A and B are shown apart, each in its own frame.
Chain A
Amino acid sequence: MSAYLTDLDVRLLTVLQDGLPLAVRPYARVAAQLGIGEDEVLERLAVLQENGTLSRFGVVVSHRELGYRANAMVVWDVPGERADDCGRRLAGLPFVTLSYRRPRRLPAWPYNLFAMIHGKDRRQVLDEVEIATREAGLAGCDRAVLFSLRCFKQRGARYGSGARPARTLGEAAA
């Protein structure tokens, strides 16, 4: 799905990177910061949801603070032609929060399929790793389970003052 961001969209998402103010009329406050109308903010957010720029709009919780402290990045080395099928099967499991394909970097890093599993204890997560491996057809693949040990930093993304959409209207026309 193509989704072209306007300059205003980029400014809106930049203003919103720390979230909405917790106020009776939060969108009006955001609008005032941007010098536009409240209705325009609401309309652009609806468009950005509709066109897939946003994966979601809403409450972002801290799973760590909520007691989900066993946080594992699970990785497999799966042959390229099977990665998409396995990745889609991982994505369908209720306990898999994120699933991506990423490049290998040999020899240091041989794994190309990634999934995040968050649980309340290690045993539960390790059981889910076994289920995921079986259900996604990854039984014969090398894998590693990387539990998080220390969190040094965790916050929302900042796009930088010069953030540009990946595809702009100008590039699309070119």
Chain B
Amino acid sequence: MAATARQIGNGVEKRALSPLELALLNDFQRDFPLDPQPFARIAEALGVGEDEVLAVYRDLMERGLVKRVGPVVRPHRLGWSTLAAMSVPPERLAEVADLVTGYDEVNHNYEREHAVNLWFVVTAASRQDVMEVLADIACRSGFEVLDLPLERPYRVDLGFPIS
């Protein structure tokens, strides 16, 4: 399996993934074992030791390749979230992005290649809380904030296969 992670991190060439790393990244994105010792079940399935599985997951997490092991909640099942977007002049983008990132309710915040160039996700306990964050950002930045909540999901997060 010639799976390599090219040009990752800060453009640093990193070593190719081992077959065990690839299996631990790919095979347990869904249906992670609900068993008192899940890493032992994974170890059995892959024919390696529980210690080794835990050590490799710790390493993958330290290297930033694994963000976490846990639940992915379907949108709007718990609290409320929206995708928000703003058009910010390039010379003010860093400053406004900083302001947006500063909110604990903001979990993703990206610059994208478009006149509408700042895109972020706001998640909070209720729709009202989300709308208050959007209004606050509009007020503090002086720019309009578009509220683009999900109306219908066609495909939700089912994992990301690595080849």
Contacts and interface: CB of A to CB of B under 8 A. Distances in A.
Nearest to A90: B154
B67 A60 contact: yes
B149 interface: yes
A57 B32 contact: yes
Interface in A15-64: 16-20, 22-28, 38, 42, 45-46, 48-49, 52-64
B160 A118 contact: yes
A58 B31 contact: yes
Contacts of A46: 34
Of B40, B101, B158, most A-chain CB atoms within 10 Å: B158
Contact of B78 (A23, A65, A87, A159): A159
A120 B6 contact: yes
Given A60-B67, A61-B67, A150-B110, A102 B123 contact: no
B69 A55 contact: no
Nearest to B113: A147
B137 interface: no
A72 to B, nearest CB: 9
A161 B125 contact: yes
Given A42-B34, A108-B87, A157-B107, A66 B5 contact: yes
A5 B77 contact: yes
Nearest to B63: A65
B45 interface: no
Given A27-B34, A164-B126, 14 more contacts: A26-B39, A42-B36, A46-B34, A56-B31, A64-B8, A67-B6, A83-B152, A91-B154, A91-B155, A120-B6, A148-B113, A152-B98, A152-B110, A166-B79
19 contacts: A22-B54, A22-B57, A24-B54, A25-B37, A26-B38, A42-B34, A45-B34, A57-B32, A61-B162, A69-B7, A73-B112, A146-B112, A151-B110, A153-B101, A158-B107, A159-B79, A165-B77, A166-B76, A166-B79
Interface of B: 4-9, 24-25, 28-32, 34-40, 50, 54, 57-58, 61, 63-74, 76-81, 83, 85, 87, 97-98, 100-101, 104-114, 116, 119-121, 123-126, 129, 144, 146-160, 162
Interface of A: 3, 5, 10, 13, 16-20, 22-28, 38, 42, 45-46, 48-49, 52-69, 73, 83-84, 87-88, 90-91, 96-103, 105, 108-109, 118, 120, 144-166
